[in-house]
Structure 1
Amino acid sequence: MLDTKINLLVIDDDDINIFIIKKIVEKTGFDIDMVSKSNGQQAIDYLNEVVSTNRPIPHLILIDINMPVMNGWEFVEAYQSLGIAQRVDLYILSSSVYENDIEKTKSYTAVKGFISKPLSIERLTELIKELEH
């Protein structure tokens, strides 16, 4: 059971999606600290800073695929090389309807699954409950 604040990292370059996810987070009723980054490189820089300053690692990371600078797949590869030992649940959160993107998700051991946009309150609640096990 998670008895602390849930740390959520959302990586998405679309401000509207970030706004929607913030509203969904508020409606879950969970104590969630959400941080958003607009591309994979910003997220890697953020995680490196978190690790080096001994701040809490995100429990859950939601990753868009198509972003400038560093896309979602490049982020996952860079993330895996960080060597973070703590359990972090990574999910691709995308509007992609391409079967190869959904299949590619399965090729990364660090990624737990593919979620089609838009994220729902029910799906986020499920993800949080999975963190508790």
Structure 2
Amino acid sequence: MKICIVDDDPIFQLLAKKQFQKIAGDIDTVSFTNGIDAYAYFRSVELTSLSMPKLLLVDLNLPIMNGWQLIDKLRKTCLTENTLIYIVSSSPAIEDRVRSLSLTCVKDYLMKPINSQQYEELYRAANVAH
């Protein structure tokens, strides 16, 4: 299973990769520190007919292109129609949660830090959905 992590915090990226690897050995993670690189990746995967990630974890506060902008661009191009998208943020702002859950393409809004049970639930959800 392919998982994409878009977060400018290298510690979060490392922890997420380690948690998913503990859950299953078949996980291939790709990660980006900004939205523009992540968007370019999704466009390149589309052009090469490689498999899209089954799970996308997106932080909101990213340099160059933030999480909102990335999700908006992906949603408009239908690149993630078979990808489960979760917002993963340290922002406690209620308006961020409400905005996230108002988007039909976003499955949930998760507050950092994510615990091992949440990683297992994300993995199971991605396996069941596809």
Determine if the TM-score, normalized by the shorter chain, exceeds 0.5.
Answer: yes
> Which stretches in structure 1 are left out of the alignment for 5+ residues?
1-5
Q: Specify the code of the residue in structure 2 equivalent to 1:107.
A: S
Counterpart contact for 2:20–2:123, Cα < 8 Å? no
Establish whether residue 50 from structure 1 lines up as the match of residue 42 from structure 2.
Answer: no
Q: Identity rate of aligned residues, in percent?
A: 33
> Which stretches in structure 2 are left out of the alignment for 5+ residues?
none
Change (3 A) 1:30 1:114: farther
Establish whether residue 88 from structure 1 lines up as the match of residue 88 from structure 2.
Answer: no
| Distance in 1, Cα, partners of 2:37 & 2:113 | 22
Cα RMSD of the aligned pairs, angstroms, is 1.3
Counterpart in 2 of 1:77? 72
Q: Specify the code of the residue in structure 1 equivalent to 2:23.
A: T
Determine which structure has the larger helix proportion and give its number: 2
Q: Number of matched residues?
A: 128
Alignment equivalent of 1:12, drawn from 7, 13, 23: 7
Counterpart contact for 2:52–2:80, Cα < 8 Å? no
- The Cα offsets for residues 103-123 of structure 1, whole Å up to 9 and x where unpaired, read as 110121111110111122211
| Distance in 2, Cα, partners of 1:30 & 1:110 | 27
TM-score (norm 2): 0.92
Q: In terms of mean alpha carbon deviation, does 101-110 or 46-55 score higher?
A: 101-110
TM-score (norm 1): 0.90
| Distance in 1, Cα, partners of 2:110 & 2:30 | 19
Counterpart contact for 1:18–1:36, Cα < 8 Å? yes
